[in-house]
């Protein structure tokens, strides 16, 4: 997967220091939303909208381990 690097910060319950993760984002995709599941995995919604249009938007759900490893 070629793409840009994104720097994500994840907060752990009971800890006031964020965990920094550098992850590759697929070419042309933007991070739209993200949430965390009960195991600490990040669930990230990636979208691609041609020239900012709301038509023909591509999207996919991306799941990352707490260490930034791609799971799905």
Q: Give 4's strand partners.
A: 25
What is the structure's pLDDT at 41? Answer: 86
Distances (CA, A) of 59 to 30, 32, 40, 42, 45: 9, 9, 22, 16, 7
Averaged in consecutive runs of 10 residues, what is the pLDDT profile of the chain (72 residues)? 67 78 77 84 83 75 83 76
If you write DSSP's letter for every residue of the chain in order, what string do you get?
--EEEEEEEEPPTT--SPEEEEEEEETT-EEEEEEE-TTS-EEEEEEE-GGG-SSS-EEEEEEE-TTS-B--
pTM above 0.85, yes or no: no
What is the structure's pLDDT at 72? Answer: 67
What is the structure's pLDDT at 3? Answer: 58
What is the structure's pLDDT at 1? Answer: 45
């Amino acid at each position: 997967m070629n793409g840009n690097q994104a720097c994500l910060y994840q907060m752990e319950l009971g800890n006031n220091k964020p965990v920094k993760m550098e992850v590759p984002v697929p070419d042309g995709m933007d991070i739209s939303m993200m949430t965390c599941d009960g195991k600490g995995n990040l669930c990230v919604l990636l979208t691609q909208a041609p020239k900012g249009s709301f038509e023909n938007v591509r999207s996919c759900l991306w799941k990352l381990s707490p260490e930034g490893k791609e799971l799905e």
